[in-house]
Amino acid sequence: MIANIGITYDAPWMLLFAMLIMHAIADFPLQGAFLAQGKNRHLANSEFQGEEPSGLWLYCLTAHSLIQAGGVWLVTGSAVIAAVEFLIHWLLDYAKCERWTNFHVDQLAHVLCKVGYVIYLSSHAS
Q: Which of the four pLDDT bands, split at 50, 70 and 90, describes residue 44?
A: low
Query: 31: closest CA among 43, 44, 40?
Result: 40
Summarize the confidence of residues 76-91 as an average pLDDT.
96
The predicted structure's pLDDT at residue 41: 87
pTM score of the predicted model: 0.86
The CA-atom distances, in angstroms, between 115 and each of 43, 72, 88, 112 are: 32, 12, 14, 5
Neighbours of 43 (CB within 10 A): 13
Summarize the confidence of residues 73-82 as an average pLDDT.
94
69 sits in which H/E element: helix 56-76
- Least confident among 36-40, 41-45, 60-64, 66-70: 41-45
